[in-house]
Amino acid sequence: MQISAAELALLLKGTVEGDPTVKLNSVAKIEEGTSGALSFLANPKYEPFLYTTQSSAVLVNKDFEPGQPVKTTLIRVEDAYSAFTFLLEKFGNPNSRLQGIHDSALISDKAEIGKEVYIGGLTCLEEGVEVGDGSKIFPQVYLGINVKVGKNCILYPGVKVYHECIIGDNCIIHSGTVIGSDGFGHAPQPDGSYKKIPQTGNVIIEDNVEIGANCAIDRATMGSTIIRKGVKLDNLIQVAHNVEIGTNTVMAAQSGIAGSSKIGKQVIVGGQVGVAGHIQIADGSQIGAQAGFLASVTEPNKKWFGSPALELRDELRASAIYRKLPELLKRIENLEKALKEK
């Protein structure tokens, strides 16, 4: 596809500063730009590349003020990052054009398939499954009995969704993720063995959720495990039975949430964070990587770090003391030696 800077600015409701007739036919990082490429500048760290880039045009925020003369054409928009993301979704996503049902797909005659749906090879849809309009179900996906998938979803190859689970509209689930596997419920017996507790609930994933590769979201023992609207989960995340993750929370890779815990709205969770069972994390919490929580966080909008987690400023103080321990130990030993010599 080829488009002029003026046409692109019209599409993005922006303005052109430079040559409006320059033709654009590709996208590139600002530091790797070539003739005909469109780049964007949102992070100030990359501003030096603006003055040397070979890209024919660069998206910048409307209020951006360059510190040096700029040779390339600028397209000023409200939010350069969001505008560039929009273009990648609209023109760079081959999934948007997929339609049809592969001959090798196994689909129950009691399943309901919406309009303009794609279903890839060796995918299995059990009875009672519903797939909404425009959704893309890639090869080797399994949808169990009575699973509901909303409109404009993407389930990448190898996703498994167990019976009775519900996925809202505009969700993306990446390869290898399992939705609705049994929660980790085992009752100890007098002889030291464990008896499995039936997991009779389901998982509900609301609209506009994205779940990375190789995640496991367990069904509830009773009721539902719930992932609220706008949640974004990275790869390799464990969400246990009866957990609830609040609206627009984001969570980085290898984090784990134990059973029946509640994560609030707009929470930011770093990688490898652990949350014990039956506790709550308040709205707006910001959690550093590898933090561990054994008790609830009740005050909203606080920063936490360490294991067990402390409020960030307390953890920084504790870390400063920890670094001084070898020096303090040496001083104590010298004092003890001096006392013995007296």
Whether 325 shows a pLDDT value over 90: the answer reads: no
What is the structure's pLDDT at 312? Answer: 77
pLDDT digits (tens, 9 = 90+) for 39-86: 999 999 999 999 999 999 999 999 999 999 999 999 999 999 999 999
pLDDT digits (tens, 9 = 90+) for 116-125: 999 999 999 9
pLDDT digits (tens, 9 = 90+) for 310-319: 887 887 788 7
Dist CA 84 CA 86 (whole Å): 5
Mean pLDDT of 104-125: 98
Quote the tokens at residue 260.
């029946």
Question: What does each C-alpha distance from 19 to 5, 23, 61, 178, 263 come to in angstroms?
Answer: 7, 10, 18, 50, 49
Dist CA 278 CA 195 (whole Å): 21
Dist CA 65 CA 119 (whole Å): 48
Residue type, 297: V
**Active-site hit among 102, 163, 186, 241:** 241
What is the structure's pLDDT at 95? Answer: 74
What is the structure's pLDDT at 322? Answer: 75
CATH topology of domain 3-92: 3.40.1390
CATH topology of domain 100-312: UDP N-Acetylglucosamine Acyltransferase; domain 1 (2.160.10)
241 included as an active-site residue? yes
- Domain ranges, ordered by start, for the chain: 3-92, 100-312
In the 3-class helix/strand/coil scheme, how is 98-111 assigned residue by residue?
CCEECCCCEECCCC
**What's the alpha-carbon Rg for the chain, to the nearest Å?**
26
Cβ 123 vs Cβ 105: under 8 Å: yes
What is the structure's pLDDT at 91? Answer: 77
Residue type, 213: A
Whether 1 shows a pLDDT value over 80: the answer reads: no
